[in-house]
Amino acid sequence: MNLDRFPRVALCHRPTPLEPMHRLADHLGGPRLFVKRDDCTGLATGGNKARKLEFLLADALASGANTIVTVGGVQSNHCRQTAAAAAKLGLKCELILPHLSRFGSSTYDSGGNVLLDRLLGAVLHVAPDRESAAALTAAVLQQVRDRGDTPYFIAAGGSTPIGALGYVDAACEIAAQAQERQLRIDTIVVTTGSSTTHAGLVVGLEGLRRAPGLDRQTRVLGMSVYHPRDVAQATVRQRAHETAELMAFDDSPDSRAALDENVIVNDDYLGGGYGEPTNAMVEAVALAARFEGLLVDPVYTGKTLSGLIDLVRRGFFGRDENVVFWHTGGTPALFAYREAFESFLRRGESAASTS
């Protein structure tokens, strides 16, 4: 697949590492586990949005914009990386941050990603909820125009076909890594949030067809952290079709059906809703840290890993399978969720002191 016809700026450390997780796999007694380290993309502590922003910010520059406007939850990783990309390219940045989670803490509104947004020079506009964010976004865009600047709006999560190109490219990247190692990848487990990381991987794998190591039998399993399964699956399918159209893929009914068939979403680990901690997430964060020295976040990758861990324990994967956990970053949010881990940490410290 040739992505050279799309404008792109350099923001991302690529390729990101593909590492085995031997100790976690041995602890769980399941398949061979690997982690794709998109927390190592650089750009203000890294994360999956750097890949998308390479294409989105190039499009912004080509349009003549000098101000980036985007939206995401208060602890949005997307907003943090967008602010960093804008700073790197000398652009202004305005962030609309609605409260999307019922979770609250002493540092939720000021620590974690919010602190980094401010350090990166973004202007923050906090909204009480999702509904009011739409009106606030329109008002901010008008304010930018009124002061003589040219805005470029990026949808939440960079969830557009242009943003998805970053993960079409990422599918090519992991295919090359698999081929180099002669590694068969059976399943990629990834977070399904705003949808285009998941959709881009599906489109990229479909485009690769039967490349060595990553053929059409490789499944992408999305763990929803935002919407119920039916809504999430429909959204990923829509984004996949839009991305395939941008890539000028075959638009025949058979081709569209193949894309639809390859979109798999599980919502069993969503818990009470977006950004709301679960006991399984807390355990997954701790297991990744203590067995692999790997930090995952409480909103996205922690819940996704909790799903992967549970499926391993239930025998969902064969013992001889190779399963890749796609780490999309987000670790700054850990510092805004300290209270979610306190009881777990106290129990562990108490047990250690009496042993």
- In whole angstroms, give the CA distance from residue 27 to residue 23: 6
Q: Quick one: pLDDT at residue 324?
A: 98
In terms of phi and psi (left: phi > 0; alpha: psi -120 to 50; beta: otherwise), the region of 42 is: left
* Cut 0.85: pTM above it: yes
In tens, the pLDDT along 226-262 reads 999 999 999 999 999 999 999 998 888 888 888 999 9
Q: Is the pLDDT of residue 351 over 80?
A: no
Q: Quick one: pLDDT at residue 353?
A: 52
How, if at all, do strands 18-20 and 32-37 pair?
antiparallel
Domains of the chain with bracketed CATH: 18-47+160-350 (3.40.50.1100), 49-158 (3.40.50.1100)
Q: Which amino acid is at 10?
A: A
- In whole angstroms, give the CA distance from residue 338 to residue 350: 18
Q: Is 159 one of the catalytic residues?
A: no
In tens, the pLDDT along 284-303 reads 999 999 999 999 999 999 99
Q: If you write DSSP's letter for every residue of 281-336 in order, what string do you get?
A: HHHHHHHHHHHH-----TTTHHHHHHHHHHHHHTT-S-TT-EEEEEE-B-GGGGGG
Q: Is the pLDDT of residue 211 over 50?
A: no
Catalytic residue of the set 76, 194, 195, 224: 76
User: Rounded to an integer, what is the distance from CA 195 to the centroid of its chain?
Assistant: 8
pLDDT grade, residue 332 (50/70/90)? very high
- The candidate with the shortest Cα–Cα distance to 8, out of 52, 39, 40, is 52
